Structure 1
């Protein structure tokens, strides 16, 4: 079994997520996020997963002039604006996943994923961002490689910098050792580096990380007490900001098979409560509350809700 990645991506708890999947493998996902102060953001995502995974990869390249649009109904198009030509790439029978996302700030994002096609355990993601109003274009390449005792990732921003972020984790009988580094091509310099060690089992895990070029240290512990109760603690120290150590304590209690509640409190007196319940097999409701216990009479508290449809 491959070890965990160097870092985990946290999911937002106050968004609205509406999903729908058609029998032909096309899925749609509509999201909306509204803050108490500021504008509302929305996005519409379409995803297609080719069920023919494992078949040979067939590519056809066509040069056209003048440039074509960055989408072609006959296949997936990688649009490269060279003023006089464009490149059309059609991918057939590749077991790919194609995702198109359009947000209300007029940002069009296209992502194509190839999983276990190039090499066993390797997942490749090509991501392009396009803003029609400003003609701004972005291109990224992400690689994820997993083996029984190794997990490695590489994230490349091809147009901004270019920059590269690479991390790797080695695992053996529960013990984990990992490192992360970022490199800027224009500066010809390593811009950040991190390291981590840990130990993980299904019942408990512990780890120590040193991030921000080994200036921020964190120690964490997680314990699954039983099938209903989970607990965790975390301590953080920033060597550049003083001797203060930040503390967090959290717990989770599963009420029944379809609902659970979570609570967390930190050394600054911020207490967070969350409740999640599956109303139906395809409908999940989440409620959240954050309280500043040191300023109960002020308007620093937050409340949120999420509703997820999965069909």
Structure 2
């Protein structure tokens, strides 16, 4: 099996800590398939603090004979996104893509070319922006048996300089995934995902952010933590109950406690509720609650 692309390294542990938690927002996700084979995705968020509503509408259509995937998306900030991707037709494992975005109100626009190539033991991915000062992102993942190694970098073609770099090492089997990553020499991440049994998944994550940022992206709706170069340790788990339900829990060294419950109400309808609590100030801390509803037909 070919190794995953660089953004998917450590994804199992990352998703366990971030997916299913939507603190401070009401969230609605809808997915449907039309008769011609067009997939529609609709997502909406309503902030509980500022009464701000945001959302997006996306459609995706696949032309199997040509290996093409056409995607378009619009959001409530009046951004229009479009993407054309072709896979495995010119050559097995080769991906070519063109992506663009446009905002009529400000006349802002941008785009990028994408190229990827996958073989049994490596996965190469690159994209280059189309602008006055184009940026090129490149990544390569090598795999050997259960071991993975990755390298990523960002070039500013206008200044012909290296803007950032990252390197990752990992090990994975059917039950466990170990992942480590270093970014720009001043921030790093290490995580372990372990599947105890069919009901319980667990993960441990350590992150250190440098003075210039870095580290994993915060969960949607969570405020970014200020600060210089702190090391944060987190532990999380998912426990699957009988009857299409599951419980999520996580806690970190900043005494932030996350709890979540998800229930499949019926076929195509899933409801969830979650909370992120400030354990250092229970009485009047910055506690955030969220509710999500996912519909699929």
Aligned partner of 1:27 in structure 2 is: 39
Asked if the contact 1:25/1:51 (under 8 Å) is kept, the reply is no
The CA distance in 2 between the partners of 1:232 and 1:100, in whole Å, is 35
1:142 aligns with 2:114: yes
Q: CA deviation at 1:13?
A: 4.4
Q: CA deviation at 1:298?
A: 1.8
The CA distance in 2 between the partners of 1:16 and 1:134, in whole Å, is 28
Distance 1:210 1:186, change over 3 A: same
Asked if the contact 2:200/2:237 (under 8 Å) is kept, the reply is yes
Q: CA deviation at 1:231?
A: 1.2
How many residues align? The count is 269
Aligned partner of 1:163 in structure 2 is: 135
Q: 1:273 aligns with which of 248, 259, 277?
A: 259
Larger Rg: 1
User: Partner of 2:283: helix, strand, or coil?
Assistant: coil
Aligned partner of 2:59 in structure 1 is: 46
Asked if the contact 2:80/2:102 (under 8 Å) is kept, the reply is yes
Q: 2:245 aligns with which of 259, 278, 281?
A: 259
Asked if the contact 1:195/1:214 (under 8 Å) is kept, the reply is no
CA shift digits 1:112-144 (9 cap, x unpaired): 121212321123331111112222221122233
The CA distance in 1 between the partners of 2:160 and 2:231, in whole Å, is 34
The CA distance in 1 between the partners of 2:237 and 2:164, in whole Å, is 32
Q: Relative to total residues, which structure has the larger helix share, 1 or 2? A: 2
The CA distance in 1 between the partners of 2:21 and 2:210, in whole Å, is 30
1:216 aligns with 2:187: yes
Q: How does 1:118-129 map to 2 (within 5 A)?
A: 118-129=90-101
RMSD across aligned C-alpha pairs, in angstroms? 2.1
TM-score (normalised: structure 1): 0.80
- Runs (4+) off by over 6 Å: none
Aligned partner of 1:203 in structure 2 is: 175
Q: Which has the higher contact order (CA 8 A, sep 6+)?
A: 2
Aligned partner of 1:304 in structure 2 is: 290
The CA distance in 1 between the partners of 2:277 and 2:21, in whole Å, is 15
Distance 1:280 1:141, change over 3 A: farther
Aligned partner of 2:3 in structure 1 is: 3
